[in-house]
Amino acid sequence: MLLIIPALSLKAQVRQGDNFLGGSIGLGTKGNSPVLGASFESMITGSQTGSVGIGGLFRYHGYNEVYNNGNSRDYNFSSLGLGKL
């Protein structure tokens, strides 16, 4: 589902010192297990002409796979990212 909301005027509602923390759940491409994540952003400067912030994110995906010979393996993937916006 895609939701589009047109706006006539956009104004940043973030200010210097604001912090944002969020979580996410995604669909894994293998193992039918979800991808779990968290992100954080801290606004360093904010004005009506633009904002600058730094942030990071973490994603985790793990699943178990059973092979035809009866062996099984656990796979765990994680990613960590840092950025400047």
pLDDT at position 58: 92
Long-range contacts of 44-52 (CB under 8 A, 24+ apart): 44/16, 45/16, 46/12, 46/14, 46/15, 46/16, 46/18, 47/12, 48/11, 48/12, 50/12, 51/12, 51/14, 51/85, 52/84, 52/85
pLDDT digits (tens, 9 = 90+) for 4-58: 666 555 555 767 788 889 999 988 777 678 889 999 988 887 666 677 888 999 9
